[in-house]
Amino acid sequence: MTYASGGDERMGNVLILSRKVENIHDLAGTIKSLDAECGSCAPITPLECINRCQVYKLKNELRKLREAMDNPNYIKELFNVLKNETRLHILQAIVNGRYSVNRLQRELEKGRHSRSQERFSEEYLRPLVTLGLATEARDEYYATTFGGYLSELLGCLPEFVEMLPAHSECYEETLLQSMLSGPKTFEDVEDLIPPKIASRILKRLRSAGLIETPQERDYIFFFRSKRDSNKETFTVTERRIYETIPTDGISAGKLAEETGLSMRRTYKYLRSLKGKKLVFIRKTPKAYGLTRKGERLASILQELQQIVEDTWSSSEQVVRKAKKFVHSKAIVRKLTQTM
């Protein structure tokens, strides 16, 4: 069994134990190893488990975290809590040790994050505790194991904080994550978020440099028709243009690039081929895709959501085993009373 020595260490962060795990996705395996440790432990008294055992503390954290995660709006509330630079600074500070409110305020004042004590506690600390990222003991705050994992992931998030609206329904986050699988048309976007606000959300993400659309001319593609080209006469350049057009179509810009012709001459010969009914035009829907910056943020958001899902699954094991243990004790008690 893993014990800490000394008053402060006994109540220390359960990350002492969980540092053995490389990432949150190993948490399911960690739960099994914790059960094995508990099974082989022989504490002198039950209080020894409660007061000194780091395994007990981690399991207790997971039980409390499960209660918070049972909230159907947990992900949305988590995103909104983390879209705040002050809260991120607090989380990164308390990962490394215990802090009183006064000490946290002094720490943040160094970075010009001064707040009144009342506002500081209610607006910044309480949300972290409510969502299971931090906990309080003896008027001091420290990060939970879950909060510690998120702190590592969110190291580069502050630069994105102002790009996403606070206290939102998190439609921006939903849309960004969906675009990791590829560009989305406006119709696709309307399937993901309320159509009435789709244009506003897209405009906001585009203004923040998180999504982009190609140049307007790239929405128009040129294709070969089924007409027999052997029945037509071509100039050398017309032939060159025609044979460069692939079966799946090509934009005028790409065609000019591949043939080495100017855009003006490319359009001239395309018009000629279109007049001979050898080429036709098809417009493709405008698609919105992630910029490099948008892809980076979307990946962080997706990993954050995956961590929550993995943690929920791991905490479920703890809760299920705890219920099974309580049920078993009740059966034994009932049998003992009837004997």
Which tens digit of pLDDT belongs to each residue from 15-47? 333 444 444 445 555 555 655 555 555 554 554
pLDDT at 3: 39
* CATH no. for 216-285: 1.10.10.10
Q: How wide is the angle at C-alpha 26 spanned by C-alphas 57 and 40, nearest 5°? A: 50
pLDDT at 327: 42
Residues 6+ apart with CB under 8 A from 117: 101, 102, 105
pLDDT at 218: 53
pLDDT at 13: 39
Edge-to-edge, what's the strand order for the sheet holding 220-224? 250-251, 220-224, 279-283
Question: Which residues belong to CATH 1.10.10.10 in the chain?
Answer: 216-285
List per-block mean pLDDT (blocks of 10 residues) for the chain, which spans 339 residues. Answer: 40 38 51 58 50 62 83 92 88 90 82 66 91 89 88 75 86 95 92 94 94 69 91 91 92 91 94 93 86 93 87 69 47 48
pLDDT at 311: 81
pLDDT at 40: 58
- Whether pTM exceeds 0.75: no
Residues 6+ apart with CB under 8 A from 289: 179, 182, 183, 184, 211, 212, 213
pLDDT at 29: 57
Q: What's the distance, CA 184 to chain centroid? A: 19
In this structure, the chain runs to a length of 339
pLDDT at 210: 95
pLDDT at 35: 57
pLDDT at 7: 40
